[in-house]
Every structure is written in structure tokens, then in C-alpha cells.
Structure 1
Amino acid sequence: MKLTIEIDFTNEEGKLLSRILKSEDKNVLETKCSAIAKAATEEYKAMILGKKVFTRGKDMLEFRLFSLINHYFEGRIPSEQEICALFQIRIAEAKGLVNAITSKYQYELERTVAKTLADILATATEDGSNFKFALRSAFLKDEINRLITNVNPQLTLLERVTTSGGEFTLKNSSYLALKKYVDELIN
């Protein structure tokens, strides 16, 4: 079923929405809003069909984030900052929310988490015996370390670059083992 909706914004609401969704381009903003609307419609469809009837607000927020990951974030795990911007919550709450959904929907999100990690690892640059990459998510940092430990507990975990806010290094052996593991999950 194809639905077309029209939503009116005041000039101030439009400016704020553009800032929150990080887009000044009207077409990009419409695309982003359409993805959010699709996620919301999925949520209502599941409720109306009795597939997801929530008794707690937290369950509803978790399913909402799950739907947004599938539609708005295009199948990637968002950073806690991105979650804060959409849900109007503190960073600690965002971290709890992403931890909750990746546990509750772990099998549905397993490939999504792996794909997100693969995308991050693809941006890494080799620097001698290390790979360096940017990481803005505490959940993904923890997930990388968890997976490295699962693959081989003797491998070295992520290390933060002390002169940077969001750069990390990973020893070549850890990087290659993690990349192989993540690629196997995706394929």
C-alpha cells in the first residue's frame, strides 16, 4: 500500500527539524521525514494487527528505535548522540536504549550490527602495526571489544587515541580477526 501524507511545519519548526536531522536540503529533509514516517507506520501497523501491543512505555521506545534502525538509519546502528537528537533523551538513556534493543532484538539485529561494524572497519587506515578509525558510539566500542574477546581472548582490545575525542586504534591481528568474523556474519 502506498501512502502519501502532508505535514505542515511553522518556519521555526522547519528550521529546528532541519538542524536536528542535519539537512538544509529540502529534498533530503523530505526523504528523511518519509523514512521516519515509514517507521512510525510500521509501529502502528504492528500495534493494530496485535503483533506488538505494549504495556510499558520503554517497550514502545525500544520498538520505535528498532523500526527507525530499519527505515531511517537504513540498517545501521546509530550513535547514542543520534538517538538523543531524535528521542530527546540524555546520553546515558540512549546508551541504555541501544543496549536494550540489541539484546531484545539480538537475532533480528545481528547482521545490522555486523554491517555497521564492517562499515566502520572499512574506514580504518593502517598505521604501522595498528589500524586507526573514528568511532562515535559507546555501544559499538563495547561490541567491538566483546567480539574480539569472543574470537580470541588473547587479542588486544581497542585503544583510544589520547589526543582525539573519537579515534581508536586496533592492533593488526585484532583488526584482521574482527574483520574476518564480521564478514562471515554478513555473508
Structure 2
Amino acid sequence: MQITVTIPPDQLDQQGEQELARILGCDAAALPGVLGRHAEAALSEYLSMYRGQKVLKRGSDMLEYRLYLLISIALAGRIPDEQFVSALFQTTSAESRRLIRSVLSKYQYQLQEALRATMAAAMTNLAYDREGGVYTMVLNNTNIVDELNKLLAAADGTLTPVTRRRGSVSTYDIRPSSYEQLCKLLGLPPQTDHLGNG
């Protein structure tokens, strides 16, 4: 079923469009497509409620389901970071972190592929620090770091966890052995920058 929605100019003027584009992380030209995916997620929530498939009473359950739908539909399976969730839900960083963690737990089977894809994307954005003998990763999503560490713990409890670099807000260090194991678990070809480095 094709549904077209028009947003009246008095609800969203040019300044509002620019603000929304900034919040959603896109340019103004892409805004209609991005908002269309968000509208699809919202409509899915209503349809589930109308048909009695997902009748939620608690506010926290509603927020979790809403974020699950946004991840699945609007974000095409990308797990967002705390800043993005805070911008959409008007929550603090700590509240957003808890909300993401709850969604990853409650919808773990439905979001399994999305989580793996997000972890894999994070693992392809590394640099090797020869002086420290570690791979470094800049990541603003502590939940993804936690999930990487869960993978490591399940595979080999003797491996060093992904750890926040001292004095840094969102830079993490990964020892080569842990890096290789994570690449193996996520099906990624490992870099070989660490080979032959002591």
C-alpha cells in the first residue's frame, strides 16, 4: 500500500528543516527520504498497536519498541550511538545508553544481524599504534564496545578486553590477539600491521 504524507509549511519551515537535517545527520536534500523512513517506522508502530500485535502499557516498553523499529527501518539496521538517541528521544547520555542496552537485550534475536554489522563496521575503522602495540578505535557507542567484549569473553576468557584509552573520551585500545579473534568472529580480513612488531 502506497501512502504519501505532506508536512504543512506551518509545522516545518525552512529553519526547521535545517534543524531536522542536523539532528538526523543528513543534508537538506536527503531529508524527505530520511523522514520517509522514520514515518515508516512510526506507522509500523501504530499498525502493530491497532492490530493488537504489540500492545504496550509501560512507557519504557514503548520507547524500547520505538527505538527497535527505528533501528530496523529508519536506520537500516545500524545500531545508533548515545548522542543520536539523545537527539531523537530528548534523553541524557546515560538514559540513552540504558535504552540502547535494553533494546539490544530485549530484541537480541531480531537485531542479531544489525549488531554484527555495526560491530564489523566499527572494527574496519582502526589504526595501528606502533608505539603502544595496539589497534586504536574511535567509537562513541559504549554499548558496541560492551558487545565486542562479550564476543571476546565467550570465545576466550584469557583475551584482553577492548579498553578505553586513558585520558580519552571515546578512543579504545585493542591488543593484537584480541583484534585477531574479533576479526575471526566477525568474518573480517585482519590487518597485519602488528606483525613483526616485537
Q: Which residue identity is paired with 1:151?
A: A
Shift of 1:75: 0.5
Which whole-Å CA distance do the structure 1 matches of 2:99 and 2:165 have between them? 27
Higher normalized helix content (fraction of residues):
1
Mapped pair 1:119 → 2:107: no
Match of 2:6 in 1: 6
**Larger gyration radius, structure 1 or structure 2:** 2
Residue 126 of structure 1 aligns to a residue in which SS? Answer: strand
Mapped pair 1:157 → 2:152: no
Residue 58 of structure 1 aligns to a residue in which SS? Answer: helix
Q: Cα deviations across residues 75-120 of structure 1 (Å, max 9, x unaligned)?
A: 0110011100001111111111111111111111111111100000
Shift of 1:18: 2.5
* Larger mean Cα displacement after TM superposition, 12-21 or 169-178: 12-21
Q: Which has the higher contact order (CA 8 A, sep 6+)?
A: 1
Match of 2:142 in 1: 138
Residue 137 of structure 2 aligns to a residue in which SS? Answer: strand
Match of 1:66 in 2: 68
Shift of 1:21: 1.7
**RMSD of equivalent CA atoms:** 1.6
After superposing on structure 2, the runs of 4+ consecutive aligned residues of structure 1 that deviate more than 6 Å are none
Which whole-Å CA distance do the structure 2 matches of 1:84 and 1:35 have between them? 19
Match of 2:21 in 1: 18
- List gaps (5 residues or longer) in structure 2: 189-198
Residue 52 of structure 2 aligns to a residue in which SS? Answer: coil
Shift of 1:151: 1.1
Which whole-Å CA distance do the structure 2 matches of 1:89 and 1:164 have between them? 23
Which whole-Å CA distance do the structure 2 matches of 1:102 and 1:161 have between them? 25
Which whole-Å CA distance do the structure 2 matches of 1:102 and 1:21 have between them? 21
Q: Which residue identity is paired with 1:20?
A: I
Q: Cα deviations across residues 134-186 of structure 1 (Å, max 9, x unaligned)?
A: 110111121112221111110011122235432111011101111211239xx
Which whole-Å CA distance do the structure 1 matches of 2:95 and 2:169 have between them? 21
Shift of 1:56: 1.1
Match of 2:90 in 1: 88
Match of 1:110 in 2: 112
Q: Which residue identity is paired with 1:111?
A: E
CA contact (8 A) 2:18 2:28 kept: no
Q: Which residue identity is paired with 1:28?
A: A
Identity, in percent, stands at: 35
Residue 18 of structure 1 aligns to a residue in which SS? Answer: helix
Q: Cα deviations across residues 11-62 of structure 1 (Å, max 9, x unaligned)?
A: 4432322231233x33211121111111111111111221111111111111
- List gaps (5 residues or longer) in structure 1: none
Q: Which residue identity is paired with 1:67?
A: L
Which whole-Å CA distance do the structure 2 matches of 1:11 and 1:124 have between them? 38
Which whole-Å CA distance do the structure 2 matches of 1:15 and 1:118 have between them? 31
Question: TM-score normalized by structure 1?
Answer: 0.91
